[in-house]
Structure 1
């Protein structure tokens, strides 16, 4: 069964995707250290908590078709400061972003949630696990490589795209590319994410993220041995974390690190293999009930 075609390609939109978007989130704000932080929330308020953290130059709407399928939990996805519909700061850091994650969880009354971060968001999730391990049930990272700075930040540093103004919305949507780029996207997902990535400005449309969000970050290698919370890795088969790198990451974590491979997924699995990602996250949440760490 399918739905009418996406605006971009005319291809049929799968029924699961249409149903997911029909489960529209609640949009809320919380002020953290003087800056407004926007977030989306799905599911029953009294369920266990899951916080989703997007990658660099992305936004909470990247999870719009994923979060509604995680119905066992109250799911929140925030726009980190400098991204999406949140405010901007003079400077950005992982510890600041980690505080934003916990502030959103507190605003939703989610004690000890699971925190899952993609790419640069994986750095944020790991920072939560290092600095605030007692406040979370576990942290999970999606394709955050071991010995690199966040790849999105490097791309923005080399190609300052954030200030470009497009006079036509459809042209801007058509030019949407991920950082770093990948070969495969589901057209209906790409179209939805691209439209949510743009804001109206004088003269047209531009990308929502602050082009100065990048900075010097600790390496994943430095964070893993310091984790004070259970952790897991989702490795994208066609992403940045190789099997050899994943094995090295496992060895760095006291007590080990569960690794789940996402078959055929590129670095951005919510754009090319979202159902595989959903299945993996559902399994993780069954093992890690919020409020309690998994037994040894």
Structure 2
């Protein structure tokens, strides 16, 4: 993507949150990454998301993250839009990665800085500082699980910053979704951050979703999303129900380790996680394998 206008125009639909396949020794498996990316693009996904929370960015060095950005953009080219997570606790790293992501033609995802007792005004000022660094704009990454949960009133202030093109919203409480859908629709693009419960936000008018479990169940989640897009709520509901067993296990055993185990069970190259996460073993691994087999053979 060459600029903010093109980025905004292409920012919609189903984005695969691509896991980062590590080898058992913690090294990157770029061949596996390329295979996984090409699979979802070939199936018709609208975009991909790289190096996010479930891409395990907190366990990567800044140089590893920058190299990951470059490798992925070499693989994808301009076939689909790419969200590149530039989040971090060090503003210097965020600055460098945000600029790099935009220079490469991706869309940088920026979280509010997660330091102690930061004020709303300081958060807005941070986004004002970061947004001009990217020629493609910036995506607000509201990820309560790793930092600050932005209230709707602050999101609205950030949305007014020139160059902010959208939000990946992790707080999916009904009241917040209602506010964002009705106050920000048409101003910035709205993305539901979770495939565990995306039907509601999409029915409220969100522009798209990002999905980690689509790494393991790409066909089912793609069909579900297309049903929502087409206004077929009944089909979307039944398809979403069909893979509840894996969602239940993901909530119990954690992500992305559950998705990687399910990918490996299907012969996809999920690889391993990096510490402090641990790969599933024993009964949890057996449960994920059994659920994946049952879902995909139905």
TM-score (norm 2): 0.36
* Structure with a larger share of its residues in helix: 2
* Structure with a larger share of its residues in strand: 1
